A and B are shown apart, each in its own frame.
Chain A
């Protein structure tokens, strides 16, 4: 149980285009979803937290206009990288929790490798 599906797994696009990444909880309702970014050989860095039906909360230094997050349902959150540039190339990972309690684990997707040419 507690499977999180992330799509696409790999995307290559030209500089200036926008890219949408989907994160779905397949067998549970996700109260909260998280978006992370991981650079090569580095740890996961939290970008934002989204709760269903409300605006995402972004971490310091993350541009909310660059990384648009929508969490319209209890099973789907999307991250849109707008007007992507080569420096946005990275590995993006989503996770989801069933409740907001702090002792509940996050369930992770497989990640999306984004390459901007």
Chain B
């Protein structure tokens, strides 16, 4: 069965330090993966998706099929990056349904 695992509930780093939010998935088909972010008191919003291979707000994520991972990285954390981050996997074929990981709260200390 499909599954998304985010092993860290909380990740605390200092401003300027590198950040890596881990995400592992289990899926029998070809994976489509997203990272969503939720800032304090705001709605969930798309951060990036693997097919775009883009960098948003300095964040990147590379799909590693061998390790079944889609870790989110940023070389230098900023205080405004503090938020809840969810990794999500599309499943169900053409239905576009998402299964979410449990989320990682990133806290960037000044």
Residues of A within 8 A of B (CB): 4, 32, 34, 42-44, 46, 49, 57, 93, 95, 97, 100-111
Contact = CB atoms under 8 A, between A and B. Distances in A.
B49 interface: yes
Contacts of B102: 42-43
A97 B103 contact: no
Given A43-B86, A44-B86, A103-B49, A111 B96 contact: no
A16 to B, nearest CB: 30
A117 to B, nearest CB: 25
B45 interface: yes
A59 B69 CA distance: 26
26 contacts: A32-B95, A32-B96, A34-B97, A43-B86, A43-B100, A44-B44, A46-B97, A46-B98, A46-B99, A93-B44, A97-B96, A100-B94, A100-B96, A101-B94, A102-B32, A102-B90, A102-B93, A103-B49, A103-B90, A105-B34, A105-B46, A108-B36, A108-B43, A108-B44, A108-B45, A110-B43
B17 interface: no
Interface residues of B, number: 22
